């Protein structure tokens, strides 16, 4: 419906010809190494209407069978009738609709033409798309944690642009992540946009409340790894010590004790340089020699491949279903590395020595 100045002058829009879209290929494998190169070309004819209108257009993508309930779009200027989509733009669209990385996904695409609040759609074309895992550092919002501890952790002291970050996987102003502190009573603050403008600190009560003006530095009372959570909108924060180790009947000490990780500031990762793992048992990663905080597979027991990084999940973030563990298919000495710098994608790598 397009309304003129008077209600009685309203005119009803009808399509007189439906838009049609096609692509130069139907199967694509996306590649981060050539992210800015074109990977697929779309060509279309625009719909026509019974009255003169100035529509806007975009290409919508959805998972096949989902009936476009969740969509992502590629936009372009209204005067064009074809567009080349890059690997990066296509991968971002696939990420936003929930396509699974590194496997073939059945995807549907269509031309969406909007006239005011009314939407008109073209035919649907079928695509087979293999996305890659996007760099989570570029996908998720983050805040920075500059402080006196950062240099010893492999960053730079009191430098918002070179500090550990807390990420918001839900993109909802709630941030979380890990920082490594080497000295007791280390101080830090929270910044956004890698700058000091709008920085926040404790309100002086050290009860988890943040202030932007009149604040004081947050303090880490003891050395160690801290799991930090910040609600930027509510101006609250919390932190808890979390010293991680590996435990399980696949390890030399079984379920009786942990083998602790050591933080490596050069790689900004937690490392066990050598540990014997058998192929018959399981292992998990837990904090503080307790079971409250664990890194695990998302759902089922998972066999790890030497040298291949996988996403690991933190049970305290309600991302783990059940109590699964890890295993290896071949017994031997392994290096284990946990990369916890981004809470949107914790990364685990084991390498057979």
- Predicted confidence at residue 189, as pLDDT, reads 98
In a domain, 5, yes or no: no
Same domain, 292 and 333: yes
Which H or E run contains 175? strand 174-181
Contact (Cβ atoms closer than 8 angstroms) between residue 211 and residue 171:
no
Helix, strand, or coil (residue 223):
coil
β-sheet bridge partners, residue 177: 228
Q: Is the pLDDT of residue 3 over 60?
A: no
Question: How do residues 334-346 score in pLDDT, each as one tens digit?
Answer: 999 999 999 999 9
C-alpha span between 228 and 335 (Å, rounded): 27
Question: Which one of 241, 256, 279 terminates a domain?
Answer: 241
279 vs 79: which has the higher pLDDT: 279
Q: Where are the alpha helices (DSSP H) in the chain?
A: 87-97, 136-139
Convert the pLDDT of each residue in 91-121 to its tens digit: 999 999 999 999 999 999 999 998 888 899 9
Q: Give residue 245's pLDDT.
A: 98
Identify whether residues 162 and 195 lie together within a single domain.
yes
Buried b (16+ CB within 10 A) or exposed e, 207-232: ebebeeeebeebbbeebbbbbbbbbb
Residue 111 exposure: Cα atoms within 13 Å on the Cβ side: 24
Strand 174-181 and strand 105-115: the pairing is unpaired
> What region, left, alpha or beta, does residue 257 occupy, with left being phi > 0 and alpha being psi -120 to 50 degrees?
beta
User: Three-state DSSP class for 343?
Assistant: coil
Q: Over the stretch 25-41, which tens digit does the pLDDT of each residue have?
A: 999 999 999 999 999 99
- Count how many domains the chain has: 3
Distance of CA 10 to the CA centre of its chain: 46
Residue 276: other Cβ atoms inside 10 A: 13
Same domain, 126 and 27: yes
Mean pLDDT value of segment 78-82: 88
Instruction: Look at residue 12 and tell me if it is in a domain.
Output: no
Residues 68, 98, single domain; the answer is yes
**Structural domain range at position 348:** 244-352
Terminal-to-terminal C-alpha distance of the chain:
68
pLDDT in tens, 275-332: 999 999 999 999 999 999 999 999 999 999 999 999 999 999 999 999 999 999 999 9
Structure confidence by residue, pLDDT tens digits, 153-186: 999 999 999 999 999 999 999 999 999 999 999 9
pLDDT at residue 218 in the model: 98
9 found inside a domain: no
Final residue belonging to a domain, choices 113, 130, 147: 130
For the chain, what is the mean pLDDT? 94
The pLDDT of residue 6: 47
pLDDT for residue 116: 84
Q: Which long-range contacts (CB under 8 A, 24 or more apart) does 251-255 make?
A: 251/275, 251/276, 251/277, 251/281, 251/283, 252/276, 254/281
**For residues 73 and 61, what is the distance between their CA atoms, to the nearest angstrom?**
6
Q: Is residue 348 part of a domain?
A: yes
Q: What is the pTM of this model?
A: 0.78
Residues 6+ apart with CB under 8 A from 39: 28, 30, 31, 85, 86, 87, 90
pLDDT band, very low/low/confident/very high, at 150 (cuts 50, 70, 90): very high
């Amino acid at each position: 419906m397009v309304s003129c100045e008077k209600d009685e002058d309203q005119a009803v829009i009808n399509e007189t010809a439906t838009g049609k879209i096609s692509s130069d290929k139907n199967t694509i494998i996306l590649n981060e190494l050539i992210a800015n190169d074109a990977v697929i070309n779309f060509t279309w004819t625009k719909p026509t209407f019974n009255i003169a209108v100035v529509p806007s257009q975009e290409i919508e993508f959805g998972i096949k069978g989902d009936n476009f309930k969740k969509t992502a779009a590629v936009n372009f200027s209204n005067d064009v009738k074809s567009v080349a989509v890059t690997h990066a733009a296509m991968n971002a669209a696939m990420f936003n609709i929930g396509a699974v990385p590194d496997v073939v996904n059945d995807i549907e695409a269509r031309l969406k033409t909007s006239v005011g609040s009314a939407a008109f759609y073209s035919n649907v074309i079928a695509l087979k798309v293999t996305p890659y895992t996007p760099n989570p550092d570029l996908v998720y919002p983050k805040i920075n944690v500059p402080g006196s501890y950062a240099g010893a952790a492999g960053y730079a002291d009191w430098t918002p642009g070179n500090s550990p970050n807390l990420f918001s996987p839900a993109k909802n102003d709630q941030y979380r992540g890990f920082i490594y502190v080497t000295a007791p009573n280390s101080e830090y603050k929270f910044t956004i946009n890698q700058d000091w403008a709008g920085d926040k600190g404790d309100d002086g009560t050290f009860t988890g409340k943040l202030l932007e003006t009149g604040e004081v530095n947050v303090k880490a009372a003891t050395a160690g790894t801290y799991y930090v959570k910040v609600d930027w909108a509510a101006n609250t924060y919390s932190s808890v010590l979390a010293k991680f180790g590996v435990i399980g009947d696949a390890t030399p000490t079984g379920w009786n004790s942990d083998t602790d990780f050591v933080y490596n500031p050069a790689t900004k990762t937690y490392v066990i340089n050598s540990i014997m793992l058998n192929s018959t048992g399981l292992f998990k990663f837990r904090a503080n020699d307790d079971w409250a905080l664990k890194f695990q597979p998302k759902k089922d027991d998972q066999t790890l491949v030497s040298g291949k990084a996988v996403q690991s999940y933190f049970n305290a973030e309600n991302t783990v279903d059940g109590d699964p563990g890890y295993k290896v298919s071949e017994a031997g000495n392994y290096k284990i590395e946990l990369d916890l710098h981004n809470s949107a994608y914790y990364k685990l790598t084991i390498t057979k020595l």
